[in-house]
Chains A and B, each alone.
Chain A
């Protein structure tokens, strides 16, 4: 998809791919042919910018057809550059304005409890969103309402538009910070599948009546060394001749 546009949030997508793979192919319950199925676990992508990563997961899961890939980001496509709920099956919320996802997830988790629906609400948010005050309103509210059906996943790649996140606003000690607010917090290598699987299992099975968060320390452009090495990779341009090279490297790392 990135090749269609030649540029985009490709670094973030590669970084978070392992967490999405764990969510969609290990942890979550859903029906690919019925994305609105009432019993599904909800997946809220507040970082609309990362849509390309979720489209890939939804295609792999069979929610979106593979033959729509070439339409990505084009007129009349169901896959706009930033995630929009009205456009895409499986895209539950319209993200992009950061600091919204976790608050909406709080409301959905309250709603599911009202309906005695045992589904989980997952919210993938970014480290940059931890700078948004609204995220912390939601963090506190989730504890207040004992939302044990809410699982936040923070993609901590330490990269936002103007530079490193740690130089901006959301400074360090992430898991202890969330734990201090009353969450069941885990911090893992977000590119280690075994660690992710264990963390998602722990999050779902945790016994206390509190919301859960998995801080995923990820590497931008993970899996493509020549892209990983780029200095500025918030919004990257990949040259036409580099795509085949990147795909070959990724395929090499694919487990058989």
Chain B
């Protein structure tokens, strides 16, 4: 019997390719986005939950050994009797949250996005979503927000979670939105999957007077040449790209769509229908099955036919490395967005 040799992913590592002093180091295990030069807010999710718990006796928090890395430790410290440490066990994290919800509580279950989406899917689907229980699954490290490689990079979580009936899926942009969305989902019946930025989280939308509305896409900035439709921290990147492009005479609108499911297809179609604009989706997620493909499907169903491009991560397991390097390499940086939009406009 001959066993074939499988072709495996080859390392791209070449120690001589970059001069010693120019190589960036992988930052702390949990890379943050506080190097943007913006004001930041510490642990907006944790503080919002503590605030909510003052009046909501039904709110409890659960973590699978990652409370410090999902900002739930703030809640755990303020309300130790309402915090459940479930250990390194994502199945029972989700199942127990379902059991607590069955008994009338509103559980916030936290872990990393990779573990909730890849490992605990069946438990969320059958114990929580099928019964439409009000479990709020709040997950750190969405998309490419750590240099720790594919084990920690949830590049396909939106695609996975969009497939689950009853589940609301949210990809908030910044500290302002995380604070507001946490309060809104606590009031919303049914299960929610929300991506989290943790630690020192930039304040981006504060100066736009933005208010999160569940299921609504909102125009943050208007423009006539390009319509960016974005979610998550990519809204902050396209806002910066829009500033850069404006200096070159390109006028860009930014439509922020934090609710991935149910998608605000009506607003998205209406904005795209205005015409004369290149439509560009931007997301911190694989090109497969995330915001971009959701928008494309919505536009096709609405009969809107416009020039369309996706800014997203490639459909592959990403490299490990320093976050700024990876964002540049995979096209999430402001410079790479700006350059590609120019190419597409010239196209």
Task: Answer whether A103 and B131 are a contact pair too, CB < 8 Å, given A115-B103, A115-B104, A133-B91.
Answer: no
A103 and B104 contacting across the interface, CB-CB below 8 Å: no
Residues of B within 8 A of A138 (CB): 91-92, 95-96
A99 and B91 contacting across the interface, CB-CB below 8 Å: yes
Alpha-carbon separation in the docked complex, A107 to B127 (Å): 11
B99 and A104 contacting across the interface, CB-CB below 8 Å: yes
B89 and A104 contacting across the interface, CB-CB below 8 Å: no
Task: Name the interface residues of B66-114: CB closer than 8 Å to any CB of A.
Answer: 84, 86-87, 89, 91-92, 94-105, 107
Task: Answer whether A100 and B127 are a contact pair too, CB < 8 Å, given A106-B95, A108-B100, A108-B102.
Answer: yes
Alpha-carbon separation in the docked complex, A105 to B103 (Å): 11
Q: Which of B87, B95, B125, B130 contacts A103 (CB 8 A)?
A: B95
Task: Answer whether A114 and B122 are a contact pair too, CB < 8 Å, given A100-B127, A106-B95, A133-B91.
Answer: no
A100 and B99 contacting across the interface, CB-CB below 8 Å: no
Q: Which of B60, B122, B127 contacts A104 (CB 8 A)?
A: B127
Residues of A within 8 A of B102 (CB): 92-93, 104, 107-108, 111
**Dominant secondary structure at the B interface:** helix
B99 and A134 contacting across the interface, CB-CB below 8 Å: no
Task: Name the interface residues of A84-135: CB closer than 8 Å to any CB of B.
Answer: 85-86, 92-94, 96-97, 99-100, 102-112, 114-115, 121, 133-134
Interface size of A in residues (CB-CB distance below 8 Å) = 31
Residues of B within 8 A of A144 (CB): 87
Alpha-carbon separation in the docked complex, A224 to B94 (Å): 40
Nearest-neighbour CB distance to chain A for B338, whole angstroms, equals 47
Alpha-carbon separation in the docked complex, A97 to B86 (Å): 21
A141 and B100 contacting across the interface, CB-CB below 8 Å: no
Residue of B with least CB distance to A141 = B92
Residue of A with least CB distance to B102 = A108
B123 within 8 A of A: yes
Alpha-carbon separation in the docked complex, A100 to B123 (Å): 7
A140 within 8 A of B: yes
Residues of A within 8 A of B107 (CB): 107
Alpha-carbon separation in the docked complex, A107 to B134 (Å): 14
Q: Which of B94, B104, B131 contacts A94 (CB 8 A)?
A: B131
Task: Name the interface residues of B274-327: CB closer than 8 Å to any CB of A.
Answer: none
Alpha-carbon separation in the docked complex, A137 to B122 (Å): 15
Residues of A within 8 A of B97 (CB): 107
B339 within 8 A of A: no
**Could you jot down 6 A-B contacts, CB within 8 Å?**
A102-B95, A104-B102, A107-B100, A108-B100, A121-B99, A144-B87
